Structure 1
Amino acid sequence: MITGKNYIGSQLKASGSKVLKTFNPLLNKENPWVFIEATDDEIEEAVSLANKAFTSYKKKSGLEKAKFLNTIADEILALGDVLLEQYCIESGYPKGRAEGERGRMIGQLRAFAEMLTEGSWVQATIDTAIEDRQPSPKEDLRKMLVPLGPIVVFGSSNFPFAFSTSGGDTVSALASGCPVIVKSHSMHIGTGEMVASAIIKAAEETNMPEGVFSNLVGDGRTLGTSLVKHPLVKGVGFTGSIKGGRALCDLAAQRPEPIPVFAEMGSINPVVLLPQALKENSQKWATAYAGSITLGAGQFCTNPGLLLALKGEELNRFEENLNQAIEKIQPSCMLHPSIYADFNSGIAKIKEQNGVSKIAEFKGETILNHGTPTVLKVDGKEFLENKILHSEVFGPFSILIECENEAELIEVISKLEGQLTGTIISEENEIEIHKEIISALQNRVGRLIFNGVPTGVEVCASMIHGGPYPASSDSRYTAVGIHAVYRWVRPLSYQNWPNELLPAELQNENPLQIVRTVNNKLTLSQI
């Protein structure tokens, strides 16, 4: 089922000479498939096709796009266990993880299809004319959201399904009416091609225009740069490193016509452990956080990489419990030898810093490419003085900051860069006397969690999977849930337009029966 070629619209092409292979981290060897990098001509063809497709795809009704997304979901499921096996071979993740992530990918597709079927997401807003208004008449003005144009999506390493070929970026862009060109992630190109084949088949079955979707293979720097700089591309979605995301933001900003880049780039997700909660439930929270730190080999954007607590007996007991819990957790396979090497070098660098000690570490034998769960510790003063200690270590790792008092803890929070999440572990009556901590944390994060763990991201309208820079390049729009659609649209206003020539969403009769804002009131009524 894997050809190693690029999908240029519905056509499989591979005229280039440069090749890539994926890697099986469990077996520590290259996979057999050979993938051909897209040439400059193939890149140009894919973008031109997407631009041509935009002319007709942007006019597709919500019901037509909903059928397309539901059919993508059906075709992905039809691939069955073969797709799950490919996912596991290229990621090192177990089958259970593959099944769970596929379910999330399917859920995203169904959720956006439901949004399109209902239709109110376009935010139709109407202010009717008042011809006899003095001193001057009021014009008839009607506004709605319209798609931007072709979007480039970069697949992520750690979520081969949910943040890649048919992940949230792709699905939200297709839902908005934008064609998509995916730059397949080099660690799971085979998985990406299989998912791309399902999208292409769904496009053909639902009569979507040729070029509504393409899937390209290539080096991140060369292929990615070419796509972002192309004048017909109108937006970018990215999940990955700060270095990679920032490079894309800079490229997009330097274009003659700058375009938006929605990048999720890094987060250490601080957790504040208040003393009364540790006194009452030390074992419970140690067990929960040992599990969260090591979940998926720690390769989650929401991995709790920073634990903050006040010096005292309660913290000492928590450290002992955390050590016992971490020691019992078997290391998991990481995505790639390069990620495994970066994980080990990141820990080694932090261990070299002044004042750093070890709290917990798995003590048994580890297999190659399996990250050793590790928790280190440093005091608040050292953390504030040493930026190296603020670095994200991607993998099953966390660092505990022992603060002298609440003022130091608040200062630590205020000196952090933007984060995806911030968590408070507290007894209910305890949190009332620590409101300044909550206020400080609120300024640094996109999602505040009370008595839970940051790993586990619900796909729903109320979820925010973004945060102040560098957690994301634009904290106003989430990368998860149906509101992701607002990254790929812009408002368009119609003034004094003939009713019969208006989009159906803005016509007097409200033929789509959607909720609209008419003269500052939400209504389903006709005008």
Structure 2
Amino acid sequence: MTVTTATSVAGSTATAVAGASPADVDGAARAARAAFATSVASTAAERATWLTAAADALDAASDELIPLADEESHLGTARLTGELARTTSQLRLFASAVLEGSYLEATVDHPDATTIPPRPDLRRMLRPLGPVAVFGASNFPFAFSVAGGDTASALAAGCPVIVKGHSAHPRLSRRTAEIVAAALAAAGAPEGVFGHVEGREAGVALVQHPEVRAVGFTGSLHGGRALFGLASSRPDPIPFYGELSAVNPVLITAAAIDARAVELAAGLAASFTLGVGQFCTNPGVVFVPAGSGFASRVAAAVGQPGAVPMLTDGIAAAFADGLAGLAAHDGVVVVAGDAVQQPGTGAAVVLSTTTDAVLADPQALLAECFGPATLVVEYDDVDDALAAIRTVGGSLTATVHAEPGEDLGDILAVLTEIAGRVLFAGWPTGVAVSWAQQHGGPWPSTTSIHTSVGVTAIRRFLRPVAYQDAPDAALPPELREDNPLRIPRRVDGVLTLPDAPAG
């Protein structure tokens, strides 16, 4: 074990550990459990202060963090500047959400002797689970990493967090962890409410540690499936909220092709090459009418881009292998680009096939190929396309491009069954952070029904508790009769809104 950084601030130590041993993980988990005694009883105002302090500290360190992120990720200053802003905005959004209070689902049912059976006084709300392990992602070094959405939502819920930093950007992860831990300590958060460790073995130990009560993960299907198995096979199984794999199908109708083929081709080209294709929402398979020549239009829109460094050599190698498998398939034609990739880099490739080929071998043709590639699938009629889309399995997104007045009923019935977010225009690579966002879908895109982006991501780290016939003084403030925090509540079945939000 090597301690790589240590910074003492306001009585708290932020320590990043490279190759953390089981003893290191045990210490971090036990510290988090001790911190939970304080965080579980913290007020919304206190947690909002913690989150805002972390956001302010990260913004203040942007001149240091962005160059470091670019050096390790090759994602570029413009992209990383926006991603850091997204990350700090996300922290502040959760701060406002905990003050507003509706996320608690506070519910009050007064006694009613006339019901069968008679109803006692019942009051229910959501409570934090306990310490949460968060796995940083490779492709978003800020927004899905040390201070990303999983960390923000868990801290907002009142859960201590232990982050397992990603090996794709270790120095950025360590420095971000220092900044966040220092900010939390200065804002009065309990010691141990935030920890950071590194190494594959540390991640395995976190998932199995008895003090860890839930896991947030963004990464590969293979790695996530293995950790999901560990979380499920514990003596006390815990929730594993994994975002794993998606091909994000797109269906374009004949009317849309006739009306705006050039525009659609340009939009697709920009979307699947964005960030060297390293987005979990990358449109990996696009269904278009046969004979439309759409794949050639996409190829023309892509042009002849050069190879660009990918996040890691491992990701580049996996992309090259997946692309080679697709290109070698009997039913696939390479329309643009080179199916043979250069080590460590990715270059755009457009491939084409048919719905018959997909239906004959969906496992091979609809596997995620994480990088700048898209597979254009030609269909004879929409029913053929929908039959092929049904074989996709779960996906984060599904998109339909159609013209006004087209009947989309059958299309939407299929798309909403397989995806968590259905788009009617545009392309899926942008994921807004908001109350209404859903970033998650059926297996294998995620391991749960919850979102990992947006305010309702907080629901993953909360559990319901009901209080029966409790004295008012014994109740949490959120459930007391006079509603001192002025939060939205459902009282005797009726949603009640306060005059002003809490805070």
Distance in 2 separating the partners of 1:375 and 1:514: 52
Distance in 2 separating the partners of 1:107 and 1:80: 14
Determine the structure 2 residue equivalent to 1:440: 414
Q: What secondary structure is seen at the aligned counterpart in 1 of 2:212?
A: coil
1:414 aligns with 2:387: no
Question: Normalising by the residue count of structure 1, what TM-score does the alignment of the two structures yield?
Answer: 0.90
Alpha carbons of 1:135 and 1:175: their partners in 2 closer, same or farther (altered >3 Å)? closer
Matches within 5 A, 1:226-237: 226-237=205-216
**515-524 vs 148-157, which deviates more?**
515-524
Matches within 5 A, 1:103-114: 103-114=85-96
1:286 aligns with 2:265: yes
Which of residues 104, 128, 134 in structure 1 aligns to 2:110? 128
Determine the structure 2 residue equivalent to 1:257: 236
Q: What secondary structure is seen at the aligned counterpart in 1 of 2:444?
A: coil
Checking the alignment, whether the CA contact within 8 Å between 1:7 and 1:216 is kept in structure 2 is no
Aligned residue identity for 2:93: A
Determine the structure 2 residue equivalent to 1:523: 496
Matches within 5 A, 1:216-231: 216-219=197-200, 222-231=201-210
Deviation sequence 1:32-81 (CA, Å, 0-9, x none): xxx73112211110000000100111111000000100000011112131
Distance in 1 separating the partners of 2:37 and 2:3: 30
Determine the structure 1 residue equivalent to 2:446: 472
Matches within 5 A, 1:34-113: 36-113=18-95
Matches within 5 A, 1:149-164: 149-164=130-145
Alpha carbons of 1:523 and 1:251: their partners in 2 closer, same or farther (altered >3 Å)? same
Determine the structure 1 residue equivalent to 2:219: 240
Determine the structure 2 residue equivalent to 1:30: none
Q: What secondary structure is seen at the aligned counterpart in 1 of 2:4?
A: coil
Which of residues 433, 457, 462 in structure 2 aligns to 1:489? 462
**71-80 vs 402-411, which deviates more?**
402-411
Determine the structure 2 residue equivalent to 1:186: 167
Distance in 2 separating the partners of 1:181 and 1:110: 20
Q: What secondary structure is seen at the aligned counterpart in 2 of 1:38?
A: coil
Q: What secondary structure is seen at the aligned counterpart in 2 of 1:465?
A: coil
Checking the alignment, whether the CA contact within 8 Å between 1:460 and 1:481 is kept in structure 2 is yes
Distance in 1 separating the partners of 2:162 and 2:431: 25
Checking the alignment, whether the CA contact within 8 Å between 1:326 and 1:362 is kept in structure 2 is no
1:209 aligns with 2:190: yes
Aligned residue identity for 1:55: A
Which of residues 491, 509, 514 in structure 1 aligns to 2:482? 509
Distance in 2 separating the partners of 1:301 and 1:403: 25
Distance in 2 separating the partners of 1:502 and 1:242: 43
Deviation sequence 1:210-258 (CA, Å, 0-9, x none): 1000000112xx2111111111110000001111111111111111111
Determine the structure 2 residue equivalent to 1:463: 437
Distance in 1 separating the partners of 2:3 and 2:59: 20
Cα RMSD, aligned residues only: 2.1
Checking the alignment, whether the CA contact within 8 Å between 1:328 and 1:362 is kept in structure 2 is no
Matches within 5 A, 1:344-493: 344-361=320-337, 369-386=344-361, 387-429=363-405, 431-432=406-407, 434-475=408-449, 477-493=450-466
Counting matched residue pairs gives: 495
Distance in 2 separating the partners of 1:188 and 1:502: 45
Checking the alignment, whether the CA contact within 8 Å between 1:176 and 1:489 is kept in structure 2 is yes
Question: Normalising by the residue count of structure 2, what TM-score does the alignment of the two structures yield?
Answer: 0.94
Checking the alignment, whether the CA contact within 8 Å between 1:147 and 1:176 is kept in structure 2 is yes
Distance in 1 separating the partners of 2:18 and 2:317: 27
Matches within 5 A, 1:139-178: 139-178=120-159
Alpha carbons of 1:91 and 1:525: their partners in 2 closer, same or farther (altered >3 Å)? closer
Q: What secondary structure is seen at the aligned counterpart in 2 of 1:11?
A: strand
1:196 aligns with 2:177: yes
Distance in 2 separating the partners of 1:121 and 1:12: 30
Checking the alignment, whether the CA contact within 8 Å between 1:5 and 1:36 is kept in structure 2 is no
Checking the alignment, whether the CA contact within 8 Å between 2:111 and 2:120 is kept in structure 1 is yes
Distance in 2 separating the partners of 1:242 and 1:136: 48
Q: Give unmatched runs, 5+ long, in structure 2.
A: none
Checking the alignment, whether the CA contact within 8 Å between 1:57 and 1:179 is kept in structure 2 is yes
Checking the alignment, whether the CA contact within 8 Å between 1:510 and 1:524 is kept in structure 2 is no
Aligned residue identity for 2:475: L
Deviation sequence 1:251-304 (CA, Å, 0-9, x none): 111111110000000101001011111111111011111000100000000000
Checking the alignment, whether the CA contact within 8 Å between 2:15 and 2:178 is kept in structure 1 is no
Post-superposition offset of 1:381 = 1.1
Post-superposition offset of 1:362 = 7.1
Checking the alignment, whether the CA contact within 8 Å between 2:3 and 2:18 is kept in structure 1 is no
Q: Give unmatched runs, 5+ long, in structure 1.
A: 15-34
What percentage of residue pairs aligned between the two structures are identical?
A: 39
Distance in 2 separating the partners of 1:331 and 1:424: 30
Which of residues 297, 300, 310 in structure 2 aligns to 1:321? 297
Determine the structure 2 residue equivalent to 1:271: 250
Q: What secondary structure is seen at the aligned counterpart in 2 of 1:4?
A: strand
Q: What secondary structure is seen at the aligned counterpart in 2 of 1:307?
A: strand
Q: What secondary structure is seen at the aligned counterpart in 2 of 1:103?
A: helix
Aligned residue identity for 2:134: V
Determine the structure 2 residue equivalent to 1:333: 309
Distance in 1 separating the partners of 2:498 and 2:309: 57
Distance in 1 separating the partners of 2:479 and 2:115: 26
Checking the alignment, whether the CA contact within 8 Å between 2:14 and 2:181 is kept in structure 1 is no
Checking the alignment, whether the CA contact within 8 Å between 1:307 and 1:398 is kept in structure 2 is yes
Q: What secondary structure is seen at the aligned counterpart in 2 of 1:401?
A: strand
Distance in 1 separating the partners of 2:159 and 2:318: 36
Runs of 4+ in 1 over 6 A off after TM superposition: 6-9
Distance in 2 separating the partners of 1:480 and 1:100: 16
Aligned residue identity for 2:441: G
Q: What secondary structure is seen at the aligned counterpart in 2 of 1:421?
A: strand
**332-341 vs 42-51, which deviates more?**
332-341
Checking the alignment, whether the CA contact within 8 Å between 2:305 and 2:347 is kept in structure 1 is no
